[in-house]
């Protein structure tokens, strides 16, 4: 299972289907693909929320939710995902498979129809999006931008991205800025919506027990009205080099220190080996068998949490750690020390094998969750491969220590960011 | 093992109880790659005071959670590492009511299951290792202190309850964990990690008989006692205090408003929790007129939630979210609760909400994790998940309305708020 059937069902509209009978629910998602940029970020971030407020046949939340309750608690959520410097904006729906409801209801067709209407046929007045909906979702967006500071660890990573990639799209906050958000009105957002709908690639995904033919028919029915012009490409710029390592320290009233370190993956991004990148990440910091977890946290107790994540599209790796401010020097030193060990090839056979197993079983276990498959296959659309989780798992099981070392050698430190309390010493 | 077939849901539950009292549930999921095991003790953050031989024993807040952290230490080293080296993703958590140890894997399930059952049954603590953990847990506690969503819920529980241990943080405080040593941990392990107080749940690509055989081979301890715990006095249904405000560096203020729900033991408890949840959905769920009205007025946003939070021998009905005018939101909820009647419109909405809840139960069947966790929790108190469809079916609009009217009656409410320093966003 987990093979994918891909088909271009309408110009610029691609349907990907994972057909499996192992789930008792179906998942369907529809994403408009946009380039991340400072001018449009806030508009993209609120677009699906505005559309989710009402369509012609279900003009307000109450009628939408009542319809979804009727469909056995189907959910249709406004979703925004980031893949490198691409923003995917749209809806993700999760719903019961007809077979287990025991009545002859066509839940799949009904849910796709609701999703299609929300995306294509919003409530309008004089051809414009409802100004009340726009204004209230603008307020919500501003609240979300302000609330970003509530989660300190994530906030530190966001600040690192903004500072490290100040002149790249990657540095743009996907929610945009308060300044830009504040200028949005229903006229401008309507114009943006019409443009986006006509010119964005539309990626559709289904996972569940309905045959692809049935899904395709439901899609053609629900999305027939999508306007199609030339589609605009979404690309991610990869920077191989960076200058000297920069350090930025900021203060806030927090009990714990939050450290975020940004790296460029370097030359290996000319010809990235995704299986090897995953295993490198698991060896260094992206798993509970990693050097960072076992040494910085477990052996030396320098932090409560530490982990690294690799963005394979952008070629950036970020290490994030929650530390006591007094441990700043010791923790950063040890993080770099562990990276140096990877560079010198000081990776034991046990560490390597554990990392390979971790990557392989994470991929295989991910295939048991429809939402994981949704993001997995959307990301594969962006890197243009059809490698299944099982195939990638098999490749990961064969990654050599040399390959991992080669990646570690290619990695360059770009920026160290530290967020800590007012009272802590420099 | 005994096989229970749920034909409509196309699910099979295998269950058994070993002679020493260990309960086992297995829910095979065909087509899944994942194999998931969950081994839990009926012992959580609320279990701080219990009776042994007629005497009450007091333990510090955070003890169950501290024990969870230390269980991974084995004479051979770290059980965590042994599991990860064998390809498993292990983890553990402590909730108010239970401590659960778990792993998922795709290969090596039998070896991993043996490792899990062995380490959770083997206390191995030294003063030195216990001391070392104090720093890590201290960091975890401090991280939790920076979490406004957690703080707002703690604030509400503290306002509602005067004596129930749900007032305490599951991880405890820096002061309370300072009083924990190897001796305390050995005592609590001995009292609560005995087969009669534990449950093993497995799901995914697993063989029921294999699970039972391995459990019988590994869990050879004698049946222990089920100690009586103290969950505070029954101090009535009115809140202890009506308001709790705390300043934290948040961009947008947070609130949680709610009331105490009266506990009834056994199957009736699950029924009451579900009835209350349906009542909340009817009153202020996303498809209610009240939700639409408050959303349109800009009083609430997508972060608004309402529902039931349960813990040992208690539950709170809660509404909360990010909000600049929580007083107004609470007032509107109470007014709407007072006016709510099971009229024709409400009845048809209620039928839809029941459909939605059944869909929600069906959604849980695709997750081996959720299946195992919910079986473990309900094994100790309530109705097993696969039987909850029938419970939902039998609940009427009248009882849900009358329960939610009680739960959101103005005099029973308490309010917790987290506001930015100086009180302004």
Decide if B253 touches A, using CB distance below 8 A. no
pLDDT bin (cut points 50, 70, 90) of residue A300 is confident
Q: Which of residues 323-362 of A touch B (CB under 8 A)?
A: 323-324, 350, 353-354, 357-358, 360-362
Q: Which of residues 187-216 of B touch A (CB under 8 A)?
A: 204
Residue A409 distance to chain B (closest CA, Å): 25
For A62, residues 6+ apart whose C-beta sits below 8 A from its C-beta are: B287, B288, B289, B291, B292
- Which of the residues A72, A282, A300, A321 would you substitute to probe the B interface, choosing the one with the greatest number of B C-beta atoms within 10 Å? A72
How far apart CA A54 and CA B25 sit, in angstroms, is 44
Q: Are residues A46 and A165 in the same domain?
A: yes
How far apart CA B227 and CA B195 sit, in angstroms, is 13
- Tell me the two tokens of residue A406: 């080669």
Q: Are residues B403 and B327 in the same domain?
A: yes
Considering CB atoms only, which of B139, B287, B368 is closest to A304?
B139
Which position has the higher pLDDT, A222 or B86?
A: A222
Per-residue pLDDT tens digits for A54-96? 999 999 999 999 999 999 999 999 999 999 999 999 999 999 9
For A393, residues 6+ apart whose C-beta sits below 8 A from its C-beta are: A359, A360, A361, A363, A364
**Which residue out of B7, B11, B17, B68 is catalytically annotated?**
B68
Q: Are residues A263 and A158 in the same domain?
A: no
CB-based contact B251 A132, cutoff 8 Å? no
Q: Within a domain: residue B236?
A: no
Say which residue the tokens 């009153």 belong to: B283
Residue B268 distance to chain A (closest CA, Å): 24
Q: A91: domain range?
A: 5-223
Q: Are residues B314 and B402 in the same domain?
A: yes
The count of structural domains within chain B is 2
Q: Are residues A87 and A147 in the same domain?
A: yes
- What's residue A79's pLDDT? 97
Considering CB atoms only, which of A143, A253, A364 is closest to B252?
A143
Q: Are residues A43 and A160 in the same domain?
A: yes
Q: Within a domain: residue A76?
A: yes
- List of chain A residues whose C-beta atoms are within 8 Å of the C-beta of residue B301: 139-140, 143
Q: Within a domain: residue B400?
A: yes
Q: Within a domain: residue A56?
A: yes
Q: Within a domain: residue A233?
A: no
End-to-end CA distance of chain B: 58
Q: What is the CATH number of the domain that holds A340?
A: 3.30.830.10
Q: Are residues B334 and B196 in the same domain?
A: no
CB-based contact A360 B132, cutoff 8 Å? no
Q: Are residues A142 and A208 in the same domain?
A: yes
Considering CB atoms only, which of A96, A149, A289 is closest to B362?
A96
- List of chain B residues whose C-beta atoms are within 8 Å of the C-beta of residue A97: 362
- Domain ends where: A173, A188, A223? A223
CB-based contact A368 B368, cutoff 8 Å? yes
Q: Within a domain: residue B410?
A: yes
- What's residue A297's pLDDT? 85
Mean pLDDT of B267-286: 96
Residue A64 distance to chain B (closest CA, Å): 8
Q: Are residues B375 and B280 in the same domain?
A: yes
Decide if B29 touches A, using CB distance below 8 A. yes
Residue B117 distance to chain A (closest CA, Å): 20
Q: Within a domain: residue B251?
A: yes
Q: Are residues B91 and B217 in the same domain?
A: yes
Q: Please count the residues of chain B.
A: 425
Task: Give the chain B residue whose CA is nearest to the CA of A20.
Answer: B31
Per-residue pLDDT tens digits for B1-48? 999 999 989 999 999 999 999 999 999 999 999 999 999 999 999 999
Q: Are residues B119 and B43 in the same domain?
A: yes
Task: Give the chain B residue whose CA is nearest to the CA of A136.
Answer: B298
Task: Give the chain A residue whose CA is nearest to the CA of B288.
Answer: A62
Q: Are residues B324 and B416 in the same domain?
A: yes
Decide if A383 touches B, using CB distance below 8 A. no
CB-based contact A255 B146, cutoff 8 Å? yes
CA distances from A231 to A219, A234, A368, B88 (A): 19, 10, 33, 44
Q: What is the CATH number of the domain that holds B37?
A: 3.30.830.10
Decide if B422 touches A, using CB distance below 8 A. no
Q: Are residues B299 and B190 in the same domain?
A: no
How far apart CA B384 and CA B34 sit, in angstroms, is 22
Q: Are residues B300 and B270 in the same domain?
A: yes
CB-based contact B10 A24, cutoff 8 Å? yes
- The helix/strand/coil state of A311 is strand
How far apart CA A27 and CA A365 sit, in angstroms, is 17
pLDDT bin (cut points 50, 70, 90) of residue B241 is very high
DSSP string, A247-307: EEEEE-S-SSEEEEEEEE-GGGGGS--HHHHHHHHHHHTSSTTSHIIIIIIIIT--EEEEE
Q: Within a domain: residue B238?
A: no
Q: Are residues A152 and A291 in the same domain?
A: no
Mean pLDDT of A400-417: 97
- Domain ends where: B229, B257, B284? B229
Phi-psi category of residue B71: left, alpha or beta, with phi > 0 → left and psi -120 to 50 → alpha? alpha
Q: Calculate what percentage of chain A has a pLDDT beyond 90.
A: 87
pLDDT for residue A288 is more than 60: yes
The count of structural domains within chain A is 2
Considering CB atoms only, which of B34, B292, B357 is closest to A60?
B292
Residue A55 has what DSSP assignment? B
Q: Are residues B165 and B28 in the same domain?
A: yes
Q: B282: domain range?
A: 243-423
pLDDT for residue B306 is more than 80: yes
Active site residue B338: no
- What's residue A426's pLDDT? 40
Q: Are residues B285 and B362 in the same domain?
A: yes
- List of chain B residues whose C-beta atoms are within 8 Å of the C-beta of residue A98: none
- List of chain A residues whose C-beta atoms are within 8 Å of the C-beta of residue B136: 297, 301, 304
- Tell me the two tokens of residue A189: 């957002």
CB-based contact A367 B33, cutoff 8 Å? yes
Q: Which of residues 42-81 of A touch B (CB under 8 A)?
A: 49, 60-62, 65-66, 68-74
Q: Are residues A47 and A176 in the same domain?
A: yes
Q: Which of residues 148-167 of B touch A (CB under 8 A)?
A: 148-149
Q: Which of B156, B81, B68 is nearest to B112 (CA)?
A: B81
Mean pLDDT of B229-251: 91
For A118-145, b/e burial (b = at least 16 CB within 10 A) is: bbbebbeeeebbbeebbebbbebbbbbb
Q: Are residues B199 and B83 in the same domain?
A: yes
Q: Which of A260, A262, A261, A414 is nearest to A322 (CA)?
A: A260
Considering CB atoms only, which of B33, B80, B81 is closest to A365?
B33
How far apart CA B118 and CA B124 sit, in angstroms, is 12
Mean pLDDT of B399-425: 91
Per-residue pLDDT tens digits for B117-139? 999 999 999 999 999 999 889 98
- Domain ends where: B180, B202, B229? B229
- What's residue A2's pLDDT? 52
pLDDT for residue A200 is more than 70: yes
Q: Are residues A87 and A131 in the same domain?
A: yes
- Domain ends where: B196, B229, B262? B229
How far apart CA A299 and CA A288 sit, in angstroms, is 13
Q: Within a domain: residue B234?
A: no
Decide if B118 touches A, using CB distance below 8 A. no
Averaged pLDDT score across all residues of chain A? 94
Q: Are residues A195 and A282 in the same domain?
A: no
Task: Give the chain B residue whose CA is nearest to the CA of A251.
Answer: B249
- Domain ends where: A223, A256, A289? A223
- What's residue A274's pLDDT? 94
Per-residue pLDDT tens digits for B44-79? 999 999 999 999 999 999 999 999 999 999 999 999
pLDDT bin (cut points 50, 70, 90) of residue A425 is very low
pLDDT bin (cut points 50, 70, 90) of residue A423 is low
Mean pLDDT of A326-354: 95
- List of chain A residues whose C-beta atoms are within 8 Å of the C-beta of residue B363: 24-25, 73, 94, 96
Q: Are residues A213 and A260 in the same domain?
A: no
Q: Are residues A120 and A22 in the same domain?
A: yes
pLDDT for residue B380 is more than 50: yes
How far apart CA A231 and CA A236 sit, in angstroms, is 16
pLDDT bin (cut points 50, 70, 90) of residue B81 is confident
- What's residue B423's pLDDT? 56
């Amino acid at each position: 299972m987990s093979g994918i059937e891909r088909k271009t069902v309408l110009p610029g509209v691609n349907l990907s289907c994972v057909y499996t009978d192992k789930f008792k629910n179906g998942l369907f998602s529809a994403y408009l693909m946009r380039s991340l940029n400072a001018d449009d970020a806030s508009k993209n971030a609120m677009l699906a929320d505005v559309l989710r407020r009402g369509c012609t046949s279900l003009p307000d939340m109450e009628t939408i939710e009542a319809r979804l309750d009727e469909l056995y608690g189907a959910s249709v959520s406004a979703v925004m995902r980031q893949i490198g410097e691409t923003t995917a904006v749209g809806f993700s729906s999760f719903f019961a498979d007809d077979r287990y409801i025991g009545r002859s209801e066509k839940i799949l067709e009904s849910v796709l129809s609701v999703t299609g209407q929300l995306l294509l046929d919003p409530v309008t007045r004089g051809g414009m999006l409802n100004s009340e909906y726009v204004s209230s979702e603008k307020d919500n967006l501003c609240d979300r931008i302000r609330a970003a500071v509530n989660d300190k660890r994530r906030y530190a990573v966001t600040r690192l991205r903004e500072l490290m990639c100040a002149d790249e799209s990657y540095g743009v906050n996907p929610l945009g800025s308060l300044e830009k958000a504040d200028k949005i009105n229903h006229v401008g957002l309507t114009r943006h919506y019409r443009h986006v709908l006509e010119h964005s690639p539309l990626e559709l995904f289904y996972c569940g027990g309905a045959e692809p033919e049935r899904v395709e028919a439901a899609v053609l029915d629900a999305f027939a009205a999508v306007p199609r012009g030339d589609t605009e490409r979404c690309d991610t710029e990869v920077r191989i080099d960076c200058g000297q390592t920069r350090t930025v320290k900021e203060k806030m009233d927090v009990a714990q220190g939050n450290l975020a370190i940004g790296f460029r993956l370097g030359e290996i991004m000319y010809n990235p080996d995704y299986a090897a990148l995953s295993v490198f990440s698991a060896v260094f910091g992206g798993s509970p068998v990693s050097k960072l977890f076992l040494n910085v946290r477990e052996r030396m107790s320098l932090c409560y949490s530490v982990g690294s994540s690799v963005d394979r599209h952008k070629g950036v790796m970020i290490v994030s750690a929650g530390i006591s401010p007094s441990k700043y020097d010791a923790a950063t030193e040890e993080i770099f020390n562990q990276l140096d060990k990877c560079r010198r090839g000081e990776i034991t056979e046990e560490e390597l094998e554990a990392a390979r197993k971790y990557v392989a079983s994470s991929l295989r276990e991910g295939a048991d969750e429809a939402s994981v498959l949704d993001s997995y296959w959307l990301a594969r659309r962006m890197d243009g491969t059809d490698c299944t989780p099982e195939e990638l798992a098999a490749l990961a099981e064969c990654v050599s220590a040399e390959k991992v070392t080669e990646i570690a050698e290619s990695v360059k430190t770009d920026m160290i960011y530290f967020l800590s309390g007012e009272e802590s010493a420099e | 093992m005994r096989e229970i077939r749920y034909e409509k849901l196309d699910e099979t539950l295998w269950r058994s109880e070993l002679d020493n009292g260990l309960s086992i549930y297995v829910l095979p999921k065909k087509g899944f790659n994942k194999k998931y095991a969950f081994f839990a003790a009926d012992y959580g953050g609320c279990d701080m005071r219990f009776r042994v031989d007629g005497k009450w024993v007091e333990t510090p807040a955070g003890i169950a959670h501290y024990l969870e952290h230390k269980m991974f230490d084995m004479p051979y080293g770290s059980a965590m590492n042994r599991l990860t080296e064998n390809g498993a993703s292990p983890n553990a958590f402590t909730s108010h009511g239970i401590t659960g140890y778990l792993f998922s894997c795709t290969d090596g399930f039998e070896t991993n299951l043996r490792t899990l059952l062995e380490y959770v049954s083997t206390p191995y603590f030294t003063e030195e290792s216990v001391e070392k953990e104090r720093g890590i847990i201290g960091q975890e506690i401090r991280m939790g202190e920076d979490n406004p969503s957690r703080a707002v819920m703690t604030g509400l529980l503290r306002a509602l309850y005067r004596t129930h241990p749900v007032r305490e943080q599951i991880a405890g405080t820096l002061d309370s964990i300072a009083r924990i040593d190897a001796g305390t941990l050995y005592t609590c392990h001995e009292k609560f990690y005995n087969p009669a107080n534990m449950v093993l749940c497995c799901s995914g690509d697993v063989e029921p008989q294999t699970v039972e055989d391995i459990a019988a081979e590994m869990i050879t301890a004698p049946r222990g006692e089920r100690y009586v715990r103290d969950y505070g006095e029954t101090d009535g249904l009115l809140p202890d205090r009506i308001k709790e405000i705390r300043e934290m560096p948040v961009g947008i203020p947070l609130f949680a408003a709610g009331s105490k729900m009266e506990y009834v033991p056994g199957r009736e408890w699950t029924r009451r929790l579900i009835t209350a949840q349906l009542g909340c959905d009817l009153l202020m769920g996303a498809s209610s007129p009240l939700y639409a009205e408050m959303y349109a007025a800009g009083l609430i946003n997508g972060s608004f939630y309402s529902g039931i939070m349960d813990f040992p021998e208690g539950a709170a009905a809660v509404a909360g979210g990010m909000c600049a005018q929580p007083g107004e939101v609470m007032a509107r909820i109470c007014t709407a609760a007072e006016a709510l009647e099971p009229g024709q419109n409400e009845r048809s909405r209620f039928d839809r909400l029941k459909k939605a809840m059944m869909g929600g139960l069906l959604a849980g069947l695709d997750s081996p994790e959720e299946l195992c966790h919910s079986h473990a929790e309900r094994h100790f108190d309530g109705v097993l998940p696969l039987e909850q469809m029938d419970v939902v079916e039998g609940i009427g609009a009248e009882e849900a309305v009358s329960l939610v009217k009680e739960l959101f009656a103005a005099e029973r409410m308490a309010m917790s708020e987290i506001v930015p320093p100086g009180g302004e966003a």
